[in-house]
Structure 1
Amino acid sequence: MTAHGAPPARRAYDAVIVGAGHNGLVAAAYLARAGRSVLLVERLGHTGGAAVSTYAFEGIDARLSRYSYLVSLLPRKIVRDLDLDFSVRGRDVSSYTPVRREGQDTGLLVGGGRARTREAFGRFTGGEGEFAAWEKFYGLTGRVAERVFPTLTEPLPTREGLRARIDDEDAWRMLFEEPVGAAIEEYFQDDVVRGVVLTDALIGTFADAHDASLRQNRCFLYHVIGGGTGAWDVPVGGMGALTDALAQAARAAGAEFATGYEATRIETDGARAEVTCRGEAEEFTVAASHVLVGASPQALAELLGETPPAPAEGAQLKVNMLLKRLPRLRDTSVDPGEAFAGTFHVAEGYEQLATAYSEAAAGALPSAPPSEIYCHSLTDPSILGEHLRALGYQTLTLFGLHTPARLFTEDNDAVREELLKATLAQLDAYLDEPIAEVLATDVQGRPCIEAKTPLDLERDLRLPGGNIFHRDLAFPYAQEGTGRWGVETAHANVLLCGAGAVRGGGVSGIPGHNAAMAVLGE
């Protein structure tokens, strides 16, 4: 096995994989288990890409999922096929949304079973209508999930083939043909309920509910079909537990790793390719029958010497925090341990989201930045050291919406600080104490909080425009030029196995699986 930081011992492989993110690791494990010789090249000194766990705060024994943080789209098939030592835990609470209505602090808690959710809806909306609409709407998306999710690890269906498989014209219309805002407004009347539903269409996606491009629909679809149920689960041990298990599976099957080497050029005649890689002190070139690229479509084009496509900018703020304890809430009817265990929605009413989008589209930071928060350590305390657990420490992960990369280009640092301050102020409006008062401090006495803008993600992870999906998501059916598996390129032996492939985006491993299947001819 090639040691970390060392060039490969051989000069030809069946497959060279560029990028050791989770998709590259999945592809490496499948190909190596099929008996192919595999070299995986990674510019960083470690594997995992954006799906890593990190000690983010100096001297603090808390291993945070620094970038990606929840699991929905990873098929159990991949976990079984690769014999991964990895598990997830479900969350009993789906979400909590605090609001102030008629001078009173209240909120909507979704979860804890059907009876409790029905009661919560009744108290919050004053009737049975919204809960009935909720069950009808998510019953429909649930049926779509059951039928669409299994196709993600199969050859791409045609558009009409997927439509026939879904076999529900109302569902097809609202998810695949009309802006999802139309369906949300058709089903729901309450502004808060509408906002909770819409957020799944806006994670990392800068769009209005009625955007004619339907990019919000594609984002929504991927957020409600995971696992055939749409459930978003917590990775036990943090996201790094997944990529550590994948790296172990690939190594055990015989894949070789060369970390600390960046691929700089790919040359191919369609049958044989050469990949040139550069480290700090040396350069090497290896030949391969196939090259699989886990980087973005822009990076792939640059490696091939082609004109890269224009990046689709990201639009999110990612904030990691470590708290001495959970903060008290103004809404005393709910326990903070439940409110933060699911998705805690802040400033995400339907009209608030529309306003935030309009302000950002006009070139200004949202006046009330929307965000959603959850506490990993409530579901999986293992990410905290024993001493921190005993003291009652907790993590918080915040994901902000509608902050496109263009807003940060003039002064990323200054705008980041301004946005972070405004985002935390929105959270504080629902707390009985400022979040700053419960932040832990590191060994230097600094507050345990870090924020990442789209430009930070572009710098740290090479995400074009900071887009967490590498580019706009695509509907999961074949279109002109997509190929059989959605990973093919203009070069027969060069495949895209990263999030920018068709059916990419999110922590799924699906592009890695599909690229491996394309190589193996399955």
Structure 2
Amino acid sequence: MPHDVVIIGGGHNGLTAAAYLARAGQRVLLLERSDQLGGAAVSAQAFDGVDARLSRYSYLVSLLPQRIIDDLGLDIQLVRRRFSSYTPDPSDPARGLLVDREADPDAALAAFARVGADADFAAWNDLSADTARLAERLFPTLTEPLPTRDEARMLVGDDRIWRDLIEQPLGAAIDARFTNDLVRGVVATDGLIGTFTELDDPALDANRCFLYHVIGGGTGDWDVPVGGMGAVTGELARAAREAGAELVTGAEVIAVDPSGEVRWRERGDASERMSQAGVVLANVAPAVLDRLVSAGPAHSVPAVVRERLRELNAPEGAQVKVNLLLTRLPRLRDADVAPEAAFAGTFHINELESQLASAYGDAARGRIPSPLPCEIYCHTLSDPSILSPELAASGAHTLTVFGLHVPHRLLERYGNEELRTELQAAVLASLNSVLAEPIEGVIATDAAGRPCIETKTTRDIEESLAMPGGNIFHGPLSWPWAEPGAPLATPAERWGVATAHPGILLCGSGAVRGGAVSGIGGHNAAMAVLEASVG
């Protein structure tokens, strides 16, 4: 029997689409090439014989709307982190900026004064108010048909905010507001995570990345999922199955025809299978979809769509991901800040604005940045449930390190094994520059006595998750609105999920308003399908 919808890819967006469509009575088949559902939003026992389930790739939740959680009846618990961030001063790691959400105004000002940034305290609060306005006004639109740029600007209702954060390069706004190099860097990182660009680039890639990092949930908060990221996708899979969706793992899609024919094979079986659908949803990168499509466009493609596809077909990731299990948290050179506070939020290392600019220049010239800008997250300070009771009682903790400005192009100079080794050493060196003891001394060992550390390059991510270039967003991020001239005639166009083929829609991070663990791409693709079915 033909299916109404075939979904390619069982990441969080594909599962979201499957759950919505199956609940609406659609016959849904989802095909996932891995043996596990969840894509990049999974938990895994990364170290042999160690009972710890790490969020291996993605690790925090911000952009997942409460609307999706409520619509699908998801049992998901998210923990809000008390400490927003800690940033040691690279020129004197014995001091650092700890941003405590619960601090009274005098204590918060004193924290900035400690790193010589008291003059920037008012500007910090002003920027927080501005991003709060963006979040409040724009986040609800992410699960609605696309507003136009003019409509989005009217919703924000503040021309100064729009000009500063949307229309001019992010670096200009940061430099105009702040004087302290450390504070500028803390703000700037939200525009650079997973994005290889300069803050002053007129292409505004940093602005788009920044916007998505500050509007999540209508507040901009990034929360820890209890049970790890696998708990989030596990709930989505449950909702999809209970609604009647057929979820098949170990199913590699070979080709897709714009008519809705999908050819695939199960792992260990050389024979091909064919499924016919009224519509195909692609929860894969647009570049991957292009390789799967077995026929050319059935009609002429508007210029704005061609340009979008051109951009998405050359994705490049720009990060290294390192997971560690520690016997305990390491001591800091800053004796006035407890490790339990410093690591409880986002721990910024060697991320002065000037260091970020220097790191970009190094990487653009084909060199690994030194020092390597890094951000660290400690899941277990908020949620020890990912450890066995014995491991948690021992004082063990997980660390996830995200190294910036490590573009996929570095592989032109280094082989992947060499690059992985060099990047791991660079991450540890960056960490050690602000610690009172070498991090190597507190890394746990697995059942075979090997250090509990794993490093994922862009090539590793590309091969494990089929993300071209290791790009965690599937390609350049788009503004969350329709630009002037963008076609909005069809449901797929209005929901930001159209491709060159009317019968194939994007439902992943490559969609307009895609990127991060949000389910928004899946929700919007499902809404487009349902709108078309009643149109």
Q: Select 1:274's aligned residue among 256, 261, 266.
A: 261
Q: Residue 117 of structure 1: CA displacement? A: 2.3
Report the more deviating stretch, 443-452 or 413-422.
413-422
For the residue of structure 2 that corresponds to 1:207, the secondary structure is coil
Given the alignment of the two structures, is residue 298 of structure 1 paired with residue 308 of structure 2, yes or no? no
1:205 corresponds to: 195
Q: Is the 8 A contact 1:145 1:224 kept in 2?
A: yes
Q: Deviations over 1:414-470 (max 9, x none)?
A: 122112112211110111110000000000000000000111101111111000000
In the aligned structure 1, how far is the partner of 2:450 from the partner of 2:333?
27
Given the alignment of the two structures, is residue 109 of structure 1 paired with residue 98 of structure 2, yes or no? yes
1:438 corresponds to: 442
Q: Deviations over 1:321-364 (max 9, x none)?
A: 00000001110000000000101111100100000001111111
Q: What TM-score, normalized to structure 2?
A: 0.93
RMSD: 1.3
Q: Which amino acid aligns with 1:242?
A: V
Q: Residue 114 of structure 1: CA displacement? A: 4.2
In the aligned structure 1, how far is the partner of 2:124 from the partner of 2:404?
23
Q: Which amino acid aligns with 2:272?
A: E
Matches within 5 A, 1:238-317: 238-269=228-259, 273-279=260-266, 280-281=268-269, 282-305=271-294, 309=310, 310-317=313-320
Q: Deviations over 1:223-279 (max 9, x none)?
A: 00000110000011000000000000000000011211111111234xxx1111112
1:6 corresponds to: none
In the aligned structure 2, how far is the partner of 1:306 from the partner of 1:254?
31
1:519 corresponds to: 529
Q: Is the 8 A contact 2:258 2:295 kept in 1?
A: no
Q: Is the 8 A contact 2:257 2:295 kept in 1?
A: no
In the aligned structure 1, how far is the partner of 2:487 from the partner of 2:187?
33
Q: Residue 126 of structure 1: CA displacement? A: 5.7
Matches within 5 A, 1:283-432: 283-305=272-294, 309=310, 310-409=313-412, 410-432=414-436
Identity score, percent? 57
For the residue of structure 1 that corresponds to 2:330, the secondary structure is coil
2:514 corresponds to: 504
1:4 corresponds to: none
1:219 corresponds to: 209
1:34 corresponds to: 24
Q: Is the 8 A contact 1:72 1:226 kept in 2?
A: yes
2:498 corresponds to: 488
C-alpha distance 461-521 of structure 1, shift in aligned 2 (>3 A): same
2:183 corresponds to: 193
In the aligned structure 1, how far is the partner of 2:17 from the partner of 2:518?
12
Q: Deviations over 1:376-422 (max 9, x none)?
A: 00000000001101111000000000010010234111122112112
Q: Residue 375 of structure 1: CA displacement? A: 0.5
Given the alignment of the two structures, is residue 448 of structure 1 paired with residue 439 of structure 2, yes or no? no
Report the more deviating stretch, 303-312 or 137-146.
303-312
Q: Which amino acid aligns with 2:12?
A: H
In the aligned structure 1, how far is the partner of 2:496 from the partner of 2:424?
38
Q: Residue 306 of structure 1: CA displacement? A: 6.1
In the aligned structure 2, how far is the partner of 1:122 from the partner of 1:366?
29
Q: Residue 124 of structure 1: CA displacement? A: 2.3
Q: Is the 8 A contact 1:501 1:511 kept in 2?
A: yes
1:168 corresponds to: 158
In the aligned structure 1, how far is the partner of 2:212 from the partner of 2:469?
21
2:142 corresponds to: 152
2:79 corresponds to: 89
Q: Is the 8 A contact 2:95 2:114 kept in 1?
A: no
In the aligned structure 1, how far is the partner of 2:487 from the partner of 2:93?
55
Q: Which amino acid aligns with 1:504?
A: G
Q: Select 2:34's aligned residue among 35, 40, 44.
A: 44
For the residue of structure 2 that corresponds to 1:54, the secondary structure is strand
Unaligned ranges ≥5, structure 2: 297-308
2:116 corresponds to: 125
Q: Is the 8 A contact 1:192 1:350 kept in 2?
A: yes
Q: Residue 174 of structure 1: CA displacement? A: 1.6
For the residue of structure 2 that corresponds to 1:421, the secondary structure is helix
In the aligned structure 2, how far is the partner of 1:77 from the partner of 1:84?
10
C-alpha distance 306-356 of structure 1, shift in aligned 2 (>3 A): farther
Q: Select 2:4's aligned residue among 7, 10, 14.
A: 14
Q: Residue 176 of structure 1: CA displacement? A: 1.6
In the aligned structure 2, how far is the partner of 1:385 from the partner of 1:119?
39
In the aligned structure 1, how far is the partner of 2:349 from the partner of 2:113?
21
For the residue of structure 1 that corresponds to 2:505, the secondary structure is strand
C-alpha distance 100-264 of structure 1, shift in aligned 2 (>3 A): closer
Unaligned ranges ≥5, structure 1: 1-10
Q: Which amino acid aligns with 1:361?
A: A
In the aligned structure 2, how far is the partner of 1:468 from the partner of 1:338?
28
Q: Is the 8 A contact 1:408 1:416 kept in 2?
A: no
For the residue of structure 1 that corresponds to 2:375, the secondary structure is strand
Q: Which amino acid aligns with 1:290?
A: V
Matches within 5 A, 1:45-60: 45-60=35-50
In the aligned structure 2, how far is the partner of 1:12 from the partner of 1:426?
55
